[in-house]
Amino acid sequence: MARLEDFVSLIQFTPGRAQYALTQAMTHIAAQGDTALARAVGAAQGAAGRLAELEARWATRKAQSTARGNAVAIDNQLDRAVTALHQHLTARLTLLGPEHPQGAKAAELMLRWLPEGPGAVTSLAFEDELVRVDQIIAAVQGPDAAAAAELELGFFVGELARLSPLLRAELAKTAPEAITFDQVRQGRAALQRALTVVVVQAMAQWSASAQAPEFARFMAPLVQQMDRLRALRRRRQPVPDVDPSTGTEGPAVDEDA
């Protein structure tokens, strides 16, 4: 099926450049009221705004972990705390030996809390690891309180008690709505179609040769941005978007991913 953009080819606009150029172009037709061209410009501005939101969400999506909130970072700290606790108990047992009262208590706590070593706990899913950690905290606050104090486990268990609720809070957060690059690509295509409609409507409105200056004035902001985009891509430079209010260039836009 034939598409409008197959007959009118425009360079790919970034959303900010499209918004900035369309706002400037609109000043040339504002006095004409509700025309087909004005409606086309409005639709294109809407498409540019939606694409700007998609691009921002995609940039955030690429920069963040796919895990819920900061769960991975907190879980890594919790893993280190569990491992450090086990290492402390192991060191006490190795130093004093199983015949020493503290060595015997260290061996007993390791057998009860971490019978298969720390890796058996740190490799669990977030929620399952929390269950095991909470069991250790409860034991230190209850039947194993005296042994934990004698073996100087307060710092290690304190870290478990600090990190456990932080991880639980992160897991309880609602994950943000996922976004795919296909959505961004579709948004870019929608903006291109909307800009193409603007150009076609402008050509229809100023079809007579005598009206060419009006057409040129309307198109000038779009042509200016197209020239800038062509120059950047010709030099294979990153393409920065612009502030849609001022036209000031900002960070480069990743056009491929």
Q: Which domains does the chain show, CATH number per domain?
A: 4-63+180-253 (1.20.120), 71-172 (no CATH)
Rounded to 5°, the CA angle 92-98-103 comes to 30
Provide the residue type at 227 as one letter. Answer: D
Checking if the pLDDT of 67 tops 60, the result is: no
Tokens for 98?
Answer: 């199983």
Q: How far apart are CA 1 and CA 188, in angstroms?
A: 20
| Beta-carbon contacts of residue 139 (< 8 Å; ≥ 6 apart) | 112, 113
Q: At residue 249, what are phi and psi to the nearest 5 degrees?
A: -75, 145
pLDDT tens profile 3-38 = 666 567 788 899 999 999 999 999 988 888 888 999
Q: How far apart are CA 191 and CA 199, in angstroms?
A: 12
Q: How far apart are CA 161 and CA 145, in angstroms?
A: 14
Q: How far apart are CA 171 and CA 67, in angstroms?
A: 9
72-86, 137-151, 222-236: least confident range: 222-236
The tally of CA atoms less than 13 A away on the side-chain side of residue 63 is: 7
Checking if the pLDDT of 249 tops 70, the result is: yes
> For position 252, what pLDDT does the model report?
61
Residue 149 binned pLDDT confidence (cut-offs 50, 70, 90): very high
Q: Which residue has the higher pLDDT, 237 or 183?
A: 183
Q: How far apart are CA 125 and CA 164, in angstroms?
A: 14
Is residue 194 within 8 A of residue 44, CB to CB? The reply is yes
Is residue 82 within 8 A of residue 74, CB to CB? The reply is no
Rounded to 5°, the CA angle 120-124-129 comes to 95
Provide the residue type at 103 as one letter. Answer: G
The whole-number average pLDDT for the span 214-231 is: 92
pLDDT tens profile 72-121 = 899 999 999 999 999 999 999 999 999 999 999 999 999 999 988 999 89
* Helix 71-96 × helix 126-141 angle, to 10°: 50
Q: In percent, how much of the chain has pLDDT > 90?
A: 57
Provide the residue type at 50 as one letter. Answer: R
Is residue 75 within 8 A of residue 164, CB to CB? The reply is no
| Beta-carbon contacts of residue 14 (< 8 Å; ≥ 6 apart) | 55, 229, 239, 240, 241, 242, 253
Q: How far apart are CA 68 and CA 254, in angstroms?
A: 25
